[in-house]
């Protein structure tokens, strides 16, 4: 190793931006004014994409007695935290943005991470949310007080009380790092992809990258380009299709700025294009076959060595895990700058990373692109509903909810990006907006209709869950691969909504119109639009 001497690891709070203008900084972390009993109507926990959407929707509905509590010193969530080389979105930027805050200025079809982060910060400013932010405030406990019909929050800066609690803590916020024997014997830098050490210079260094998911396929080509000698530990080969990224010419940007209707039409056409990808996930018909052929021809066009191609060919159904978009993953692997270890990392031993195959690779640094605790969100251990019941216990067999956001026994609690709220084929933004819209509608209706408490009954939650379980059967996501879409305790599809984004919006829209407090029977969610 020559130049790899990164600065010491730090917590994954990410990029060191100046705080959002006029925000209560949080950097000094003084005790909260009015704690321990400062009360507001609604608290949103988390200032990532979902938390910002919820706060903006509430504000646009006239609900301003809202605090957005965020443990880091900046907004942005995953786009604040993920600063590894090559970080970018694999959904076109005009679709990977809020419908209510279109951005004509995207520089590329697939925006780089830093540009998305700046966009999110600008939305917070432009939506007037800055005064509602409590940054640098870690929520350590959330408990429902049955007598007062309020949520009581303990935070690193004191206590807070609210009527409605919206949990938007993110599904990609808690990194998972395999517990490897011999970890203590390895003295080089070790980092998770979402906790990149700024200033890391791996030129000339031998770097082990663990994983072959969306993060790994972005970081590996950049590390190779920077002169690192990379060994990739591939437990499963990913399905990869062409990315076809390109700058958006200034003339197109100017046209979007002057013609919002054209920009909206572009967004709609992208949305429809991605929605069409749902068909390949639900049945093994011509759509899936054409996706499979697209990926296989991409591999054949980019990797001429037959043996290497065999190692890079997935052994599970396309779409079972996220289909990755990359034009430089295969060329990096085929270039000789990257060695492919076709098995998991199982141990560290001094300066070696040991693979399940028995191979020992000399490495100076290890990057874990090993994903996140998505099916078992750690916040569930901090939420106590009626009778002190932990949300983690409610979810002991996997996450469930009514309308993705409401849980029986947890009054006035709404979880965003929780059960069955993600997609494998389209942008996260329409899904998040549908949840934020439902949450804001319920809050405003509670006020207007004088409903102090709303809560899903066990029956409505079970009915909804049974419908989704039935709809999930036979889809590609349950075809046998290991993915973070599926909870390994119950083998249920708990992360993904098994239908289209359009159907999700319609299903949640129907719930928004139900009489409060959300009685049974529930209309079954229609999964195709």
| Residue 90 near ligand NAP by CB under 6 A | yes
Peptide bond into 357 cis (omega under 30): no
Task: Say whether residue 212 binds ligand NAP (CB under 6 A).
Answer: yes
- What residues between 234 and 263 interact with ligand NAP by CB under 6 A? 235-236
Rounded CA-CA distance 514/455 in Å is 12
The Cα 482–Cα 236 span in angstroms is: 9
The pair of three-digit structure tokens given for residue 486, joined into one six-digit string: 């599926």
Pick 358 or 515: Cβ nearer ligand NAP: 358
Q: Indicate which single residue of 60, 386, 482, 489 sits in contact with ligand NAP (rule: CB under 6 A).
A: 482
Burial class (CB within 10 angstroms; exposed 0-12, middle 13-18, buried 19+) of 106? buried
Within positions 458 to 477, which residues make up the interface with ligand NAP, using CB under 6 A? none
Query: How is the chain split among helix, strand and coil, in percent rounded to 5?
Result: 35, 20, 50
89 binds ligand NAP (CB under 6 A): yes
Among 57, 157, 278, 322, binds ligand NAP (CB under 6 A): 322
386 binds ligand NAP (CB under 6 A): no
Residue of 102, 158, 159, 178 that binds ligand NAP (CB under 6 A): 178
Residues 55, 86: Cα–Cα separation, whole Å: 30
Residues 17-76 within binding reach of ligand NAP (CB under 6 A)? none
Question: Which two structure tokens, joined as six digits, stand for 399?
Answer: 């996450």
CA-based nearest residue to 526, from 492, 502, 496: 502
Between helix 501-512 and helix 428-449 the angle, nearest 10°, is 0
Min separation Cβ 171 and ligand NAP, Å: 8
Minimum distance from residue 57 beta carbon to ligand NAP (Å): 23
Q: Is 134 in the site for ligand NAP (CB under 6 A)?
A: no
Give alpha helix (H) positions in 35-162. Answer: 49-60, 78-81, 113-126
Is position 277 an interface residue for ligand NAP (rule: CB under 6 A)?
A: no
Q: Write out the binding residues for ligand NAP, residues 398-427 only, by CB under 6 A.
A: none
Alpha carbon of 385 to those of 151, 380, 391, 423, 528: distances in Å?
9, 11, 7, 28, 33
Give the nearest distance from C-beta 135 to ligand NAP in angstroms. Answer: 24
Q: Which is nearer to ligand NAP, 72 or 164 (CB)?
A: 72
Is residue 114 within 8 Å of residue 86, measured between CB atoms? no
Binding mask 334-373 for ligand NAP (x = CB under 6 A): ----------xx-----------------------xxx--
> Is residue 214 involved in binding ligand NAP (CB under 6 A)?
yes
Binding region for ligand NAP (CB under 6 A): 88-90, 172, 178, 193, 210-216, 218, 233, 235-236, 322, 344-345, 369-371, 482, 484
């Amino acid at each position: 190793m020559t130049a790899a001497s990164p600065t010491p690891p730090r917590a994954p709070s990410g990029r060191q931006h100046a705080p959002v203008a006029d925000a209560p900084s949080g950097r000094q972390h003084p005790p909260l004014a009015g704690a321990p009993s400062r009360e507001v109507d609604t608290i949103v926990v988390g200032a990532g994409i979902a938390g910002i959407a919820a706060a903006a929707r509430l504000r646009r509905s006239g609900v301003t007695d809202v605090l957005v509590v965020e443990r880091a010193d900046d907004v942005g969530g995953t786009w604040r935290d993920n600063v590894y080389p090559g970080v970018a979105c694999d959904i076109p930027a005009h679709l990977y943005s809020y419908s209510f805050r279109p951005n004509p200025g995207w520089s590329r079809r697939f925006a780089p991470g830093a540009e998305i982060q700046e966009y999110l910060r600008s939305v917070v400013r432009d939506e007037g949310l800055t005064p509602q932010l409590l940054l640098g405030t870690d929520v350590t406990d959330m408990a429902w007080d049955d007598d007062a019909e309020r949520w009581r929050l303990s935070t690193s800066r004191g206590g807070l009380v609210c009527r409605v609690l919206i949990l938007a803590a993110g599904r990609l916020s808690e990194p998972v790092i395999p517990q490897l024997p011999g970890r203590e014997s390895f003295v080089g830098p070790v980092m998770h992809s979402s906790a990149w050490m700024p200033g890391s210079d791996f030129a000339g260094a031998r770097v082990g990258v663990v994983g072959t998911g969306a993060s790994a396929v972005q970081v590996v080509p950049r590390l190779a380009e920077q002169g690192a000698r990379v060994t990739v530990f591939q437990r499963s080969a990913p399905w990869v299709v062409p990315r076809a990224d390109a700058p958006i010419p200034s003339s197109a940007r100017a046209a979007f700025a002057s013609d919002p209707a054209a920009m909206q039409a572009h967004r709609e056409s992208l949305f429809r294009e991605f929605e069409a990808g749902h068909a390949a996930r639900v049945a093994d018909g011509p759509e899936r076959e054409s996706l499979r052929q697209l990926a296989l021809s991409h591999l054949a066009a980019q990797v001429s060595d037959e043996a290497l191609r065999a190692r890079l060919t997935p052994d599970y159904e396309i779409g079972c895990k996220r289909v990755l978009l990359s034009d430089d993953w295969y060329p990096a692997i085929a270039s000789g700058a990257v060695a492919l270890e076709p098995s998991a990392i199982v141990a560290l031993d001094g300066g070696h990373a040991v693979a399940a195959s028995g191979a020992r690779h000399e490495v100076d640094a290890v990057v874990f692109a090993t994903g996140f605790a998505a099916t078992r969100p750690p916040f569930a251990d901090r939420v106590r509903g009626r009778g002190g019941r932990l949300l983690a216990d409610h979810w002991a067999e996997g996450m469930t909810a009514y309308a993705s956001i409401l849980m029986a026994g947890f009054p006035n609690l709404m979880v965003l990006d929780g059960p069955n709220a993600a997609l494998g084929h389209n942008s996260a933004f329409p899904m998040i907006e549908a949840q934020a819209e439902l949450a804001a509608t319920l809050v405003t209706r509670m006020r207007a209709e004088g409903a102090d408490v709303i809560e899903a009954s066990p029956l409505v939650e079970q009915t909804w869950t049974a419908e989704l379980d039935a709809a999930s059967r036979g889809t590609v996501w349950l075809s046998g691969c290991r993915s973070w879409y599926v909870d390994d305790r119950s083998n249920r599809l708990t992360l993904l909504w098994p239908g289209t984004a359009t159907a999700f919006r319609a299903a949640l829209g129907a719930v928004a119109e139900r009489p409060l407090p959300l009685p049974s029977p529930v209309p079954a969610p229609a999964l195709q639009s």
